Structure 1
């Protein structure tokens, strides 16, 4: 499949101007009663840039955003880019110390913050970090941080150094529109656009540097392979503080003139209303989210009896006189993007049968390497389920052994990434940059994978998730992929647990398929019949649902904590 080349914008500010000038009336952002056109987004970004410049923000300065997904977040991001500054998003899950550490690491000059989200005072947490403020300012322990601005209509707390959004924008009048326009057009394609924090699972968080032209190309191609375009309505559930949310959501929608719907707090029970009410056409998430859709649809169908009426309307009463679940209209959904190492084939087939999707896409990317591989139109279910597709144009994938040599087809090894998508490095951390990107420009991902004859990349596991059973390397993602073939397993998470005799053994946390009664011993028996003995889980624990993190992905730390508690209680 040959992709259309990215237009010659070079920078995000030039891209936004071109879209606003040629397609200004199109909806860029819809959230509740808020509607923002492309022209309105460009105007709001310009006002924000003037206000930042009035605070002394120069090209290359870092501006942090600590807030949930919202239209204000979108305007702030494009305003930061217009000002030639670098955006540094902070997770809303951060506590004060975590936020202070990252703000200090990137040397943020301005912080844009949502105060009071879910009853939390982010400013209060920040003020309490690093020994508390000396002068009442929430950022006294951060010498680079000169200004804090409260996003939205909320009044700013009466604290020194904290501005309301209205006051912030009003002060921008000191900067002319011509000066702001000159600044936006002076941004270079090679300038850094964002510093994205990694998860910090292997130590303190690192700041990944990504530049304008790299992001434009990566997510232009991503959007084309997804077939995202005008008329699509796409809820952004992944936080904007995460690479997928800001790049494959916020940026991709403006690149392709799709309508984004920022979701501040995703509630699974509201998912069906979200799809029906907004006529959602593109949806991205992890397998648990799509299982939720199917569970709701199957529950509604089971309760609808023999009533006619298609996919919408109220169901009839059941035999006991109880009202069944309502039937939802999800016919607007046409594309689903499911980023996971292994996707149950049955999930793909059920989505195609029950929802009528045009496309189901699996993909692989990482903060340090942007978009790496994606499945393509026409790929069979088995390829989408078991692999993340082929490398995208301009990206090269290698599988290497411990000696750094390339491995043959089908043999697992570390995934190395080359090409335009590789990060510039970690912010102010040359030592860890050198550990991640070698002298020839190859990114050492730390992921274990295989390539097939067609170039499809399968993610076997993360190096850090690997555990060793009696000397054999066991990869949870591989074991999960095998267990998903068991008819008693609908969803599964596998972890390694210490064992006196074998060093480590696998525990599998299993959610049975709908209307299936599973037995742990039966799952283990199936595994013994179908898997190498060292891959067979020592223990199977049945759950109603797997724990997931803020991005909807399997929360492995939660499973490890649960296993440790169960082991300590002697419930092995």
Structure 2
């Protein structure tokens, strides 16, 4: 039995199982934690801190506004589109407490991507940052969104600082294009209207969907993974358990540079750290390394959740290398492969080992992780408690220990399925609850797993999934393109970079910059290719299917021969 194999692979301070039914829903965890840690800091951003008690009160005010003024019905979907600001947890927990399903939306989405997600999810309400409200203005009339709430970066700050920050962002940095959305309401006005108002606290079952988290899955069509209250509660308990006794309740200061709308940061900072009563420092723009490091210098942080790209950028910063790391004890890495050289350099500079994990949107996301006190670089660790892993061949047969095959995961954190896409669900999930990850892995004798390849053609750019099908759809629409393909190639900064190949029609004039410009109009920035190559023909099967793998192998050979 698989259970027998895994049972003795766990360190003494980590349980083999958690009770996924310990809480009836996320709201029960929220209430308990906000009462237990009422005076403890929950989130800090731009110098302003919200305690757990304050966050609970504000999310209640927002829930009251939503129930009384939004016109939504229980179970309706609420799209939340903002970066790491204090408004985010207030909006998320307010929407959940009011009885709605959260749809996390990337603020970098183009109108095309927003329109698909809003229509696919059936979102009725959008809460967005003013910086992208001009895009919402274009998109909302084409969707079922009935109401829009707009917030500015500094809205949760004290009055004077709020006015200054919002003025600078809008008028000095010119980051807020003009927009006109009829009947849109300001976030702070919504909070004011709901303040002190009574509302009916939602009481969802553990099988009710809490979050629709969009992912490309195994194809380029963005699909909503239905993550239930039980999925997310289980994963927060699993994440907490895997920390063992290294993380102390109510005592840790965690740096949060990864976007909360991404499932990795969402589950860790909004869920696992909530149940632990710990303090999350929200970094709104981690790409601004000098400003980021300045924020780090203000706190004695004990933990950091990041990915390879970010570790490299920080290690290259002289000021970062001079920070006080005396309290630093936990670094977690996920979202993309951790390079050994990066991990070793990070440890040398900070004195803290990097603990790599593995997961997917469909697993809420954590599936495996290295125990903090037993890290094996180059592996993705062991399954989190109450989780089983197996390796199968192309026929679905489990392979012997140490052999490579597709990694499959089973546990209480595995999604309910894809929103309104039963066929896609059936491709990923079997009748016994095993999820096919599409990644090729090996299970070692000691229970640690290693990812050795990727079965599907997905490209992973700085932790974000990019699907060739979507890129190729956009390229195919460019006048003069007769064939096209997209692949991922190794990249020191982002893990993988996008390279596209195009065949032009006879006489067509098309440059690399024109291709990038046209793709930039339809795609988020990280989906725009770094490399463009024109060819006379692309390799295909005998039925004309382009062989992306052959193109990728060619690129890897070029790199190996350099």
State the match for 1:128 in structure 2. 138
Aligned to 1:52: 66
TM-score, normalised relative to structure 2: 0.72
Q: Secondary structure at the match of 2:395?
A: coil
Equivalent in the alignment of 1:283? 304
Match in the other structure for 1:376: 371
Q: Deviations over 1:184-213 (max 9, x none)?
A: 3x2222221100011467222000011112
- Mapped partners of 1:326, 1:373: distance in 2: 30
User: Does structure 1 retain, via aligned residues, the 8 Å contact 2:414–2:435?
Assistant: yes
Aligned residue for 1:491? none
Distance 2:387 2:293 in 1: 37
What CA distance in whole angstroms lies between the structure 2 residues aligned with 1:508 and 1:169?
46
Gaps of 5+ in 2: 1-10, 156-165, 168-177, 462-485, 494-524, 538-554
The residue number in structure 2 matching 1:470 is: none
- 3-state SS of the aligned residue for 2:135? helix
Secondary structure of 2:142 counterpart: coil
| Cα drift, residue 12 of structure 1 | 1.7
Larger radius of gyration: 1
Q: Is 1:441 aligned with 2:433?
A: yes
- Contact kept, 8 Å, 1:207 with 1:426, in 2: the verdict is yes
Aligned: 1:252 with 2:272: yes
8 Å contact from structure 1 (residues 341, 459) kept in 2: no
Which position in structure 1 is the counterpart of 2:147?
147
- Structure 1 residue 270: Cα displacement: 3.6
- In the other structure, the counterpart of 1:523 is none
Equivalent residue runs for 1:284-433 within 5 Å: 284-296=305-317, 299=318, 327-339=322-334, 342-357=337-352, 359-370=353-364, 371-380=366-375, 383=376, 385-433=377-425
User: Could you tell me whether the CA contact under 8 Å between 2:224 and 2:419 is conserved in 1?
Assistant: yes
Change (3 A) 1:146 1:340: closer
1:208 partnered with 2:225: yes
Describe the superposition over 1:484-512 as per-residue Cα deviations: whole angstroms up to 9, x where unpaired. Answer: xxxxxxxxxxxxxxxxxxxx99965558x
After TM superposition, give the deviation of residue 5 of structure 1 in Å: 4.7
433 and 348 in structure 1: CA distance in 2 versus 1, 3 angstrom threshold: same
Separation in structure 2 between the aligned mates of residue 333 and residue 22 of structure 1, nearest angstrom: 25
Separation (CA, whole Å) in 2 of partners of 1:335 and 1:427: 35
- What RMSD, in angstroms, separates the aligned Cα atoms of the two structures? 3.3
The alpha-carbon deviation at position 158 of structure 1 amounts to: 5.3
CA distance in 2, matches of 1:64, 1:466: 25
Q: Name 1:313's counterpart in structure 2.
A: none
Distance in 2 between residues matched to 1:356 and 1:377, nearest whole Å: 14
> Cα distance, 1:378 vs. partner?
3.5
Q: Counterparts of 2:426 and 2:92 in 1: how far apart (Å)?
A: 29
Give the Å deviation of 1:330.
2.7
Gap change, CA 1:567 and 1:20, over 3 Å in 2: farther
Aligned equivalents of 2:188, 2:526: Cα separation in 1:
42
Q: 2:208 aligns with which of 191, 209, 234?
A: 191
> Is the CA contact 1:342–1:387 (under 8 Å) kept in the aligned structure 2?
no
1:428-484 CA-partner distances (Å, limit 9, x unpaired): 1111111111222211111111111112111112213499xxxxxxx99xxxxxxxx
- Higher alpha-carbon deviation: 332-341 or 65-74: 332-341
Q: 1:82 aligns with which of 84, 87, 97?
A: 97
Higher relative contact order (CA 8 A, sep 6+): 2
Structure 1 unpaired stretches of 5+:
117-121, 130-138, 301-324, 468-474, 477-503, 512-554
